[in-house]
Amino acid sequence: MSEDPIRMVDVASKPISYRMAEAVGELILEPRTIAQIQDRTVKKGDVLTVSEIAAIQAAKRTSDIIPLCHQIPLSSVQVSFDVLEDRVRAICQVVANHTTGVEMEALVGVSTALLSIWDMVKYLEKDEQGQYPHSRIDGIRVTKKIKE
């Protein structure tokens, strides 16, 4: 075990600058589940709208989830989805004017969007034993980062 104390990085002396980060990830689903998402016939309601709101809320609360993240006043959180034949791709772009980056906020946003989708469609994805043999979250990563 390390003797070093755990601490937030002090960013007080860093200048405020424009920060943008974009993260992407995918939820692999059965084509029949994708069809219900597109037809808006999922029992819990409009999957993509609920998941967009969940992602925005999560991005704004990243410092409550990730212990050493700074509280960052976000200027913008934009969430979009690409619904493909066997997956939903979520993209979360976060913007702030601050002393530290917003990559974690984008990653938390996209992760939460995908988890929210899974929660809403899980009853469609279960097999006879109640397992999820096909469903998986994949490829979560930061695709863009800007500091100006």
In order of their start, the domains of the chain are 21-147 (3.30.70.640)
What pLDDT sits at residue 8?
87
In a 13 Å sphere around the CA of 130, the CA atoms on its Cβ side amount to: 0
What pLDDT sits at residue 3?
78
Residue 6 DSSP symbol: P
Phi, psi of 50 (to 5 degrees): -60, -45
Q: Which of 4, 10, 64, 119 is catalytic?
A: 119
119 is catalytic: yes
Residue 72: closest CA among 132, 136, 9, 135 = 9
Alpha-helical runs (H) found in the chain: 31-39, 47-60, 62-65, 103-125
What pLDDT sits at residue 53?
98
pLDDT tens string for the chain (148 positions)?
Answer: 567 888 889 898 999 999 999 999 999 999 999 999 999 999 999 999 999 999 999 999 999 999 999 999 999 999 999 999 999 999 999 999 999 999 999 999 999 999 999 999 999 999 999 999 999 999 999 999 999 9
